[in-house]
Amino acid sequence: MILVKTEAGHQALKDRSVPLSPRQRSAFILFDGKRSVDDVLAAGMGIAREDIDQMIELGVLEPVGGRAAPPVAGETHAEAAKPAELAAAPPSGRSKQQRYKDAYPIATQLTGSLGLMGFRLNLQVEGTGSYEDLLALAPKIRAAVGAEKAAALDKALND
C-alpha cells in the first residue's frame, strides 16, 4: 500500500500539533505518495506497522486516492476502531504510553516557544522515546518555562 500525507499531516509536520514519536516523525517524512509502506518499514527508521497504523488513525496519513485503509492483517474493522474508542476514555487510568502521547506535544510546544535559548532542550524532548524519558526531562522544562506554563505538562504526565 502507498500512503501520502493528508492536509492535517502537512500541518502537523509544521506545528507539531499531532503527537508523533521521533521515529514516527522521521518515517512520516518518507511518505510521499511514491514509497510503499514496505519501503518505509525497510528504510531502517525503527518503526513498526503499528506505528504506521497509528498515524493513519491520527489522520496524518491516508492511502493514495483517499481510500480507507484496510485493517491490519487478522483484524476486523470493529477491532480497528477500538483504539479511537480508548482515546476517548476519561484521563483517569491512562497508560504510560498514553500519558507520553499527551505530554509530548505540550513539551515540544513549550520548549519550541523558548526560541534559540530552548533549542537544546527541544532536541532533548524530541529525543525522548518513552514516558520515563519525558518525565525525567520535565524538571528542566519547568525550570526553563516556569511552573505556571509547565502546569499543562505536569497534568498530562501525572493525571
Q: pLDDT tens digit string along 107-145? A: 988 988 888 878 888 889 888 888 888 999 999 999 989
83 and 101 inside one domain: no
Question: What is the number of domains present in the chain?
Answer: 2
103 and 52 inside one domain: no
Interatomic CA distance for residues 61 and 38, integer angstroms = 15
Concatenating the DSSP letter of every residue in 19-51 gives ---HHHHHHHHH-EEEEEHHHHHHTT----HHH
- Which grid cell sits at 91? 484521563
- Show which of 39, 64, 87 is a domain's final residue: 87
Query: Nearest to residue 52, comparing CAs of 73, 27, 76?
Result: 27
Query: Nearest to residue 127, comparing CAs of 25, 51, 18?
Result: 25
147 and 103 inside one domain: yes
- Show which of 87, 114, 138 is a domain's final residue: 87
Domain of 12 in residue numbering reads as: 2-87
78 and 119 inside one domain: no
pLDDT tens per residue across span 45-73: 778 888 888 888 888 888 887 654 444 44
- Show which of 31, 57, 87 is a domain's final residue: 87
- Which grid cell sits at 125? 524532548
Assessment of whether the complete model's pTM goes beyond 0.95 = no
